[in-house]
C-alpha cells in the first residue's frame, strides 16, 4: 500500500478520506485495464467509472449545481494514475472536456453533463492548433456568424479523446477584438455535418488523440458557451482548475515509481547486501521521497485554495503542475536507474511510467508556459 499519511493533512475533509478509500478499492479491483485496443479500453473505462459513480466529481450535477471540488478531482487522478495511466486519462478528459460547460454553460448546455458524469458520453477539449498550442491567443480556426448560426472552419490538433468523443468543446476566432479578445467557445456534437477526424496520432504512451477538421460546419448560435469574445478567458479559467489535477496525476505516477523502487532496493542483493544499504541508493530514495511530498503539498494547496473560494488559482495551479510533473519525471528516471536492466524492459511498470509521465510536461500548458504564468503573477503581485 502506498503512503497515505498525506490524507491526514488539513487540506482534506472526512469526505475526501472516504473518497480516497473508495477509489483505492475500485482501482485495486479493476486496474490495470487491458490496453490492447486503446479506443476500446478508454470507452470501457469511461463506462465503468461512470457506472460506479466515480465520474460524478468531473462535473456538477445539472439538477443541483455546485462548484467542482478540485480536491476530489486530484485525489481520484492521483489514485488512478498510481494504478493505470489510461484510467487516469479516461477520468481526466471527462472533466477537462466538459470543463467549460461545467464552469460557464447555460442550462441547455449543462444537460450534457448528465451524460459525461454517467459515462454515457465521452468529452473532449479542442483548443490546440498547429501554431497555437502554447500561444492560445493566436488561434486561427474561425467561427463566422451566419443568421442564427455560426460556421466553423479550420483545424484542431493534439485533441485527446479525438475520434472517440461524443462531444467536443471547440475554441474558434469570432473576431470581436484582436488576439485573445476575439475567441469564443462552442459545444460541438461529434455527428455534426462538416466535422471530421482528419488523422489519428500515435504517441509514446498511447491514448486516443487526433487532428480534427471543420469544413463549413454549422452550429446554432446557442452552441456558444458564454458570450462572444469570452473564449480565451473560458479556456484559461478551465485550465486553472484542471492544471492542478495534471500535477495530481504526475504525483500518482511518482508515488508508484517510489513504491516500486522501495520494494526493489529492499530485495535486490548487490555487493553482499540489499541495494537499500548503499548510501548512494539511500540518497536517491531520499530525493524521491522529498519530491513526492513537496509535489503533494503544492497540488493539494492549489486544490484547497480553489475549493475555499478563491476567484483565481492561476499561480497556485501553475506551480503545482510545473513542479509535480517535472519532479515526477526525475523520480521516475531514478526508479528506472535503480531497476537496472529491468527498468528499460518493455512492459515493466517503471518503463511504462517513464513513457507515461513525459506528455504531462507538455499538455495543458508546457512547463515553459507555467514559468511564464508564475513569473507574470509574481511580478504583478497577484
Ligand atoms: N483566468 C482568467 N482570465 C485570464 C487568465 C486566467 N487564468 N489568464 C489570462 N486571463 C485574461 C487576462 O487577464 C487578459 O485579460 P484582459 O485583457 O482583460 O486584461 C487576457 O486573458 C489575456 O491574457 P494574457 O495577456 O496573459 O494572454 P497571453 O496571450 O499573453 O497568454 C499564456 C498567455 C501563454 C499564459 C496562455 O496563452 C496559455 O496559458 N497558454 C498555454 C495554453 C495551454 O495550456 N495549451 C494546451 C492546450 S490544452 S491540452
pLDDT exceeds 80 at position 335: yes
Mean pLDDT, residues 256-279 taken together: 97
Residues 136, 171: Cα–Cα separation, whole Å = 9
Closest CA to 106 of 218, 191, 221, 241: 221
Q: What share of the chain is helix, strand, coil (3-state, %, to 5)?
A: 55, 15, 25
Residues 321, 308: Cα–Cα separation, whole Å = 19
What does the pLDDT look like over 39-50, one tens digit per residue? 999 999 999 999
Residues 197, 165: Cα–Cα separation, whole Å = 11
Mean pLDDT, residues 172-179 taken together: 97
What does the pLDDT look like over 147-169, one tens digit per residue? 999 999 999 999 999 999 999 99
377 CB less than 6 Å from ligand 1?
Answer: no
CA dihedral 285, 287, 291, 292 (to 10 degrees): 10
Residues 116, 368: Cα–Cα separation, whole Å = 32
Helices (H) and strands (E) in the chain, counts: 10, 10
Residue 195: predicted pLDDT: 98
Per DSSP, 33 falls in state P
For 35, the grid coordinates are 490496453
Closest CA to 242 of 370, 33, 99: 99
Closest CA to 12 of 232, 331, 307: 307
133 CB less than 6 Å from ligand 1?
Answer: yes
Identify which of 124, 157, 236, 238 to mutate to test ligand 1's pocket (most ligand atoms within 8 A of the CB): 236
Residues 332, 124: Cα–Cα separation, whole Å = 28
For 23, the grid coordinates are 477509489
CB half-sphere exposure, 196, CA atoms < 13 A: 5
Cβ pair 293, 285 in contact under 8 A: no
Mean pLDDT, residues 62-73 taken together: 93
Closest CA to 307 of 72, 78, 19, 15: 72
Mean pLDDT, residues 266-278 taken together: 97
Q: How far is the CA of 305 from the centre of ligand 1 (A)?
A: 20
Cβ pair 311, 319 in contact under 8 A: no
- Other CB atoms within 10 A of residue 145 CB: 13
Residue 381: predicted pLDDT: 82
Cβ pair 129, 148 in contact under 8 A: no
Minimum CA distance residue for ligand 1 atom 47 = 364
pLDDT exceeds 90 at position 1: no
Q: How far is the CA of 369 from the centre of ligand 1 (A)?
A: 10
Residues 352, 329: Cα–Cα separation, whole Å = 12
233 CB less than 6 Å from ligand 1?
Answer: yes
Residue 262: predicted pLDDT: 98
365 CB less than 6 Å from ligand 1?
Answer: yes
Residues 241, 264: Cα–Cα separation, whole Å = 36
Mean pLDDT, residues 166-188 taken together: 98
232 CB less than 6 Å from ligand 1?
Answer: yes
What does the pLDDT look like over 218-255, one tens digit per residue? 999 999 999 999 999 999 999 999 999 999 999 999 99
pLDDT exceeds 80 at position 139: yes
Q: Mean of the per-residue pLDDT values for the chain?
A: 97
Q: Largest Cα–Cα distance in the chain?
A: 80
pTM across the whole model: 0.97
Residues 303, 309: Cα–Cα separation, whole Å = 10
Question: Exactly one of 24, 316, 356, 364 is catalytic; which is it?
Answer: 364
Share of the chain above pLDDT 70, in %: 100
Q: Which atom of ligand 1 is nearest to the CA of 158?
A: 49
Residue 84: predicted pLDDT: 98
Contacts of 356 (CB under 8 A, 6+ apart): 85, 205, 253
Residues 263, 257: Cα–Cα separation, whole Å = 10
372 CB less than 6 Å from ligand 1?
Answer: yes
Q: Which atom of ligand 1 is nearest to the CA of 314?
A: 7
162 CB less than 6 Å from ligand 1?
Answer: no
Q: How far is the CA of 115 from the centre of ligand 1 (A)?
A: 29
- Whether 166 is a known active-site residue: answer no
Identify which of 96, 128, 136 to mutate to test ligand 1's pocket (most ligand atoms within 8 A of the CB): 136
92 CB less than 6 Å from ligand 1?
Answer: no
Minimum CA distance residue for ligand 1 atom 15 = 233
Bond from prior residue into 32 cis (ω within 30 degrees of 0) = yes
Residue 43: predicted pLDDT: 98
317 CB less than 6 Å from ligand 1?
Answer: no
Q: How far is the CA of 354 from the centre of ligand 1 (A)?
A: 30
CB half-sphere exposure, 193, CA atoms < 13 A: 2
Residue 283: predicted pLDDT: 98
Q: Which atom of ligand 1 is nearest to the CA of 160?
A: 49
Amino acid at each position: 500500500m502506498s503512503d497515505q499519511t498525506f490524507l491526514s493533512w488539513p487540506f482534506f475533509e472526512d469526505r475526501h478520506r472516504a473518497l480516497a478509500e473508495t477509489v483505492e478499492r475500485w482501482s485495486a479491483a479493476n486496474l490495470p485495464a487491458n490496453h490492447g485496443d486503446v479506443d476500446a479500453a478508454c470507452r470501457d473505462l469511461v463506462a465503468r467509472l461512470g457506472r460506479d459513480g466515480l465520474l460524478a466529481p468531473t462535473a456538477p450535477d445539472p439538477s443541483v449545481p455546485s462548484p467542482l471540488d478540485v480536491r476530489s478531482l486530484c485525489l481520484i487522478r492521483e489514485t488512478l494514475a498510481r494504478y493505470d495511466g489510461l484510467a487516469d486519462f479516461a477520468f481526466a478528459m471527462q472533466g477537462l472536456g466538459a470543463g467549460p460547460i461545467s464552469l460557464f454553460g447555460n442550462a441547455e448546455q449543462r444537460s450534457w453533463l448528465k451524460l459525461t458524469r454517467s459515462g454515457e458520453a465521452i468529452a473532449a477539449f479542442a483548443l490546440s492548433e498547429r501554431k497555437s498550442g502554447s500561444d492560445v491567443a493566436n488561434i486561427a480556426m474561425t467561427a463566422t456568424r451566419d443568421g442564427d448560426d455560426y460556421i466553423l472552419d479550420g483545424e484542431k490538433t493534439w485533441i485527446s479523446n479525438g475520434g472517440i468523443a461524443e462531444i467536443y468543446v471547440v475554441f474558434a476566432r469570432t473576431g470581436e477584438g484582436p488576439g485573445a479578445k476575439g475567441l469564443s467557445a462552442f459545444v460541438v456534437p461529434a455527428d455534426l455535418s462538416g466535422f471530421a477526424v482528419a488523422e489519428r496520432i500515435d504517441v509514446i504512451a498511447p491514448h486516443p488523440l487526433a487532428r480534427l477538421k471543420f469544413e463549413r460546419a454549422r452550429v446554432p448560435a446557442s452552441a456558444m458557451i458564454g458570450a462572444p469574445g469570452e473564449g480565451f478567458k473560458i479556456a484559461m479559467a478551465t485550465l486553472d482548475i484542471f492544471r492542478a489535477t495534471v500535477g495530481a496525476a504526475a504525483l500518482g505516477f511518482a508515488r508508484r515509481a517510489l513504491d516500486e523502487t522501495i520494494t526493489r532496493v529492499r530485495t535486490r542483493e548487490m555487493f553482499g547486501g540489499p541495494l537499500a544499504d548503499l548510501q548512494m541508493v539511500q540518497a536517491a530514495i531520499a530525493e524521491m521521497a522529498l519530491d513526492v511530498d513537496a509535489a503533494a503539498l503544492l497540488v493539494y494547496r492549489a486544490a484547497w485554495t480553489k475549493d475555499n473560494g478563491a476567484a483565481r488559482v492561476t499561480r497556485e495551479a501553475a506551480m503545482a503542475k510545473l513542479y509535480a510533473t517535472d519532479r515526477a519525471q526525475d523520480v521516475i528516471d531514478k526508479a528506472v536507474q535503480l531497476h537496472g536492466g529491468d527498468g528499460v524492459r518493455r512492459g515493466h511498470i517503471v518503463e511504462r511510467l517513464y513513457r507515461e509521465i513525459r506528455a504531462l510536461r507538455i499538455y495543458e500548458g508546457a512547463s515553459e508556459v507555467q514559468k511564464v504564468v508564475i513569473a507574470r503573477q509574481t511580478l504583478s503581485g497577484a
